[in-house]
């Protein structure tokens, strides 16, 4: 199996048996937006708007460069955006416009919850 085949046949998130370094026993208290993102995932699954397995596939589909450069919940929210676009629930333009609105709003009065 050549290198490009390996990239395709293995999921970038699949780690079982790979070479890895020592355990890093780190943890962090979730930031409020991360917790909201987790809650969003659960709510989307309850409604079957995006089920949990679709989310997993969506994260895998981000590809190794994005996966290795975004944190856990950052990967989730980008995956959700992509999946919602593919399903026709949102469009990239809608999301971009809303993001500008949110950013402008929070620049003047502070954050987002």
Partner 1 sequence: MTELSKTQLNANLMVIPAEGEEPMFAAGDNVVISHRFPIGHFRVPNYIRGKKATVEAVIHPPAVDNEEEAFGRNAGNKRHYYRIAIPLTELWPGYAGSRRDGLRIEVFESWLSKETSK
Partner 2 sequence: MSSQIHDHTPAADAGEVRPSYYEVMETAVRELLVEKTLIGAGEIRRQIEVLDSRNPALGAKVVARAWVDPAFRVRLFANGRKACEEIGITFYDDTELIVLENTDRVHNLIVCTLCSCYPRPVLGLPPDWYKLKPYRARAVKEPRALLAEFGTIIPDNVEVRVSDSTAMVRYLVLPQRPQGTEGMNEEELAHLVTRDAMIGVVKAGVIDLPEKTQ
Binding residues for partner 2 (CB under 8 A): 11, 13-40, 42-47, 49, 52, 56, 59, 67-74, 77-78, 80-81, 84, 89-90, 94-95, 98-99, 101-103, 106-107, 110-112
Task: Specify the residue, 61 or 70, whose C-beta has the smaller distance to partner 1.
Answer: 61
CA 2 to chain centre: 29
What does the alpha-carbon distance between residue 70 and residue 78 come to, in Å, rounded to a whole number?
Answer: 9
Residue with smaller CB distance to partner 2, 86 or 98:
98
Query: Which of partner 1, partner 2, none does 71 bind, CB closer than 5 to 8 A by kind?
Result: partner 2
Question: What does the chain come to in residues?
Answer: 113
Distance CA 48, CA 54 (A): 10
Cα separation, 83 vs 53, whole angstroms? 12
CB of 90 to partner 1, least distance (A): 16
- Picked from partner 1, partner 2, none, the partner binding residue 49 (CB below 5 to 8 A depending on kind) is partner 2
Residue found by looking up tokens 């709003």 in the block: 105
């Amino acid at each position: 199996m050549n290198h490009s085949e390996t990239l395709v046949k293995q999921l970038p998130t699949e780690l079982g048996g790979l070479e890895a370094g020592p355990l890093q026993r780190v943890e962090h208290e979730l930031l409020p937006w991360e917790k909201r993102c987790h809650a969003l995932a659960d709510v989307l699954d309850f409604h079957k708007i995006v089920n949990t397995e679709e989310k997993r596939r969506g994260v895998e589909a981000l590809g190794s460069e994005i996966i290795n450069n975004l944190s856990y919940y950052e990967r989730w929210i980008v995956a959700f955006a992509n999946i919602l676009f593919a399903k026709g629930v949102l469009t990239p333009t809608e999301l971009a416009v809303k993001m500008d609105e949110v950013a402008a709003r929070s620049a003047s009065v502070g954050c987002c919850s």
